[in-house]
A = this chain, B = another copy of it.
Amino acid sequence: MLNCAVLGATGYTGAELTKLLLAHPHVRISLLTTRQEKSIPLREILPSVSKKVKLEITPYSFDAVKKKADLVFLCLPHTEAMTAAEQFLAAGKVVIDLSADFRLRDKKIYEKWYGVNHVAPQYLSKAIYGLCEVYKEKIKKADLIANPGCYPTGPSLALIPLLKAKLIAPNSIIINAASGVSGAGKKLVAATQFCEASENYSAYKVNKHQHTPEIEQTLSAAAGKPVKITFVPHLLPVNRGILATIYADTVPKATEAKIRKALEAAYRQAPFVRIKPAGQYPSLKDVQYTNFCDIGVSVQEGTGRVVIIAAIDNLVKGAAGQAVQNMNIRFGFPEEAGLS
């Protein structure tokens, strides 16, 4: 049994991760921590736990985590995560960071989009981007895994095989994404109040969302050259899920059949990526509460444009589930353990 600690277990992501780890056959939760000053029974955060579970979420102590855990999950706000990661790496722990702090390899780009200084830049080049299906071999040996952002996960999985196979024009990519409200986290803001968010739908951070450079970095690596995208996120009146509708220009001779084939070939062995047959498209209902990423494709006659639709659960494949999948890969557990 692997001893794990979850730092920041009271947020949506931390609670989801705790739920997954509780059901995991090869893991023991040795510590759950919070930045709050008092201990909180886990059942107050996670009402679905069995009556037998007596776990508490306790105030954070570096020494306690160091002593009890071999693997440390960071569900902390960005900027707090980088400090913690540095300390636990120095203490010889494996760190899976669910924040944005180690996703971008370029310190300047991080600092531009997140508006803060990076205090542990020496780890930026060592961190492995934990997009499981794509960087599996590197993840097996990583000590610092930067778990991908919720928005980047679907579009990256959908586009990487097409860019590698040179089936689409890299600089034609437009990502229209829509996320459930849990993506905004638990902090109290007017936009996520029921009377504002329900029966509503709107774009936000148009051309300004901090996940833009993360997607561009991943797609550039796949394309072998710098890729610039257009990315517009929207807020959906649902609890969970992200559906991205992606538009791109196909190269001449790139048919819908070839595109679907490239996707199917890329993910034949992947337990969590499903390619829809022709004429079928993903929906949030199909992926909620699962670690799946569903992908559908349609090439438009006349324009040669391809529409690619990718759906995930933002708290599972877009956060906690992918973190567990990364753990499974890193520690040699079956990839689906605790996730199906």
Interface centre among A234, A296, A309 (most CB of B within 10 A): A234
Taking a contact as CB atoms under 8 Å apart, the answer to whether A201 and B300 are in contact is: no
Q: Mark A182-198, 1 if CB is under 8 A from B, else 0.
A: 10001011101111111
Question: Looking at the complex, which one of B228, B271, B286, B311 makes contact with A51 (CB distance below 8 Å)?
Answer: B271
Question: Looking at the complex, which one of B194, B201, B247, B300 makes contact with A283 (CB distance below 8 Å)?
Answer: B201
Taking a contact as CB atoms under 8 Å apart, the answer to whether A245 and B232 are in contact is: yes
| Interface residue total, chain A, C-beta cutoff 8 A | 70
Copies of this chain present in the complex amount to 4
Q: Mark A29-47, 1 if CB is under 8 A from B, else 0.
A: 0000000000000000001
Using A193-B192, A281-B206 as known contacts, say yes or no to A201 and B239 having CB atoms under 8 A apart. Answer: no
Q: Bound state CA distance, A178 and B51, in angstroms?
A: 25
Minimum C-beta distance from A165 to chain B (A): 22
Minimum C-beta distance from A170 to chain B (A): 12
Minimum C-beta distance from A245 to chain B (A): 6
Residues of B contacting A305 in the complex (Cβ-Cβ under 8 angstroms)? 174, 230
Interface centre among A171, A194, A272 (most CB of B within 10 A): A194
The yes or no answer to A73 lying at the interface (CB within 8 A) is no
Residues of B contacting A178 in the complex (Cβ-Cβ under 8 angstroms)? 178, 201, 234
Residues of B contacting A197 in the complex (Cβ-Cβ under 8 angstroms)? 194
Using A52-B271, A188-B188, A232-B307 as known contacts, say yes or no to A283 and B200 having CB atoms under 8 A apart. Answer: yes
Q: Bound state CA distance, A305 and B248, in angstroms?
A: 13
Q: Mark A129-160, 1 if CB is under 8 A from B, else 0.
A: 00000000000000000000000000000000
Using A50-B271, A305-B230 as known contacts, say yes or no to A285 and B192 having CB atoms under 8 A apart. Answer: no
Interface residues in chain A, defined as those with a beta carbon under 8 Å from any beta carbon in chain B? 12, 47-48, 50-52, 171, 174, 176, 178, 181-182, 186, 188-190, 192-204, 206-207, 228, 230, 232, 234, 236-241, 243, 245, 247, 271-272, 274, 281-290, 292, 296, 298, 300-303, 305, 307, 309, 311, 336, 340
List the 7 shortest-distance A-B pairs measured between CB atoms, nearest first: A202-B283, A47-B286, A188-B188, A194-B197, A176-B176, A181-B194, A207-B300
